[in-house]
Structure 1
Amino acid sequence: MNRSQAATGPLQVTVLVFPGVRLLDVTGPIEVFSSANDFGGRYRVRVVSSDGLEVTTASGTRLGVDMSVDRATGTSDVLVVPGGPEWDRLIKDDALLDQVRALHARSRRTASICTGAFLLAAAGLLDGRRATTHWRNARELALRFPAVTVDPDAIFVRDGTVVTSAGVSAGIDLSLALVEEHFGGEVARSVAKDMVVFMQRPGGQSQFSARARTPHTRQDALRRVLDAVAQDPGADHTLSAMARRASLSARHVTRLFCDEVGVSPARYVEQVRLEAAQALLESGDDPQAAIARRTGFGSPESLRRAFVRHLGVTPGAYRAGFRTTGAAHPAG
């Protein structure tokens, strides 16, 4: 599909929803396609459910729909199949899987969001294909569906007419790539700027937040240390400084990190500093030397080594990730 084809009329996007669907899996892509209409795109979005009735999402929010699956006639340019936390129940729902197959057969492109990949796999639509899903569920997808080649680190994977994306917000990345494919980079760039998101996130799912994945701890001393690192990544966070802050021995602090956080103190500090540097690269034009100082890396070379080691890209390439979705260079 290209821009000349898209110019003949609005592109039809069909989003399938069901009880227990994850809300952002649905609203993220809808927001991208709807916003694209403000910048030269032409999409018509419809939300369908099995019986045409509203559904209650995993968060408890009720979600209205436009019609039932059997009334969603005609060809869809994009079918969006979101996921949900109870994917293991959903893949046993034969009626739902039949609806996925039927909608797929009438669609030029089928896209899954997060654990929606399990629905596509259970429906037999990923057999012999490469695919991805949320990093936490990638191993399970590979074990349950050995006919699928699972890429656990990709943000999204395109294989023929099927596109699968990683966890939750990666559906926005996938949708932006489709907008660029349909209407060009300038439209997709405008949508990304309007939504204040990446055009293309470099690296893979290994970028997920160090602070977000840190488990809650009942250890007040460790909590103080973790909060101090998060609040000022550029401060002195050597092991001895952490030990003083926690009023514990360095050995005890190291043991707490390994037991409660799952990484060493030094590794955690570097992850948080990397995250802070990512945010600064995304949001402004500060020189890399200034970003290195502010985030505790000290020098541009130390900053570069950390980016290459953890993300596989340089800081400059990371910053450039806002400029394109990478639609011209499909993942995989």
Structure 2
Amino acid sequence: MNMDFIEALKEIEKEKGIEVDVLLEAIEAALISAYKKNFGSQNVRVSIDRVTGEIKVYARKSIVEEVVDPKSEITLEDARKAHPNYDLGDIYETEVTPREFGRIAAQTAKQVVVQRIREAERNIIYDEFVSREDDIVTGIVQRQELGNVYIDLGKVEALLAPTEQINGEQYNYGDRIKAYIVEVKKTTKGPQILVSRTHPGLLKRLFELEVPEIFDGTVEIKSVAREAGARSKIAVYSKDENVDPVGACVGPKGIRVQTIVNELKGEKIDIVKWSKDPAEYVSNALSPAKVISVDVNEEQKIARVIVPDYQLSLAIGKEGQNARLAAKLTGWKIDIKSESQAGPGNAGVVEEE
């Protein structure tokens, strides 16, 4: 190696942000292993000149009164033949650079530099994506293996596990999809990015992207309840009395919410107005059903709801879905009765799951 090699390392430092000293220290450590592998297992130190790139190998021995292991020890008398200032306990060094060591050194250095560059690039990608946890990414479906879907994000692939896939949704090669970053892990093979299509956070982020009033903070998302692929409910609130939070989310002619529905492949979305009044909030959460009255028990956090007879099935929903989502959205147990059932004991309580 020579000065050109040092200059090459300086270019790598500029481009990849890996300090020259860090690279040289890694190369020196690797050359020690290479020397022991090719020339014996004695204790050695490798030094690379930071200016010229010249490499030297030094055998290291402990200075002792009596030698037990000649490979690692030397007497004080013999050490002082080389330099009179040596004392017991010092480390004696002598150069043992093999003539043919240059070729091995060049090959080893190349491997170390390539490895360090790869590690640096992995760290850059990790740092980029770990800061984007709980955010949306857009990628292209690359392949499927053992039920897992791999999504190309440009610099790295993301993993969409079977448990995070919307039931019945097809993921075909080349499809462009949005997903929610659940977790970014550091592994020996680089960052592993775990994404989801079922997480409630995906719905929340989609609304933030589509609705300017949410992005600028005028409208706030208070709660999200989701049964991915089937139906979702989202509760919104406006800090500005002149802004209708539901209308803002629906958009002109429903275009904003329809864009989100299309992205989620037809998932139905109920947008309801949040209220600090529990009775009003529960009533809104049961939309699209109409509610006659809501009686709340603050201590037990149970809301007893009465709806018109013809609205009972709508309020409960198919297989209890509407009532279940309303309970999840509000955090209240909901007891729904029709007017004719308003007597005690005729309806069950739907709890938040």
TM-score, normalised by the number of residues in structure 1: 0.24
Which has more radius of gyration?
A: 2
TM-score, normalised by the number of residues in structure 2: 0.23
- Higher strand proportion, which one? 2
- Higher helix proportion, which one? 1
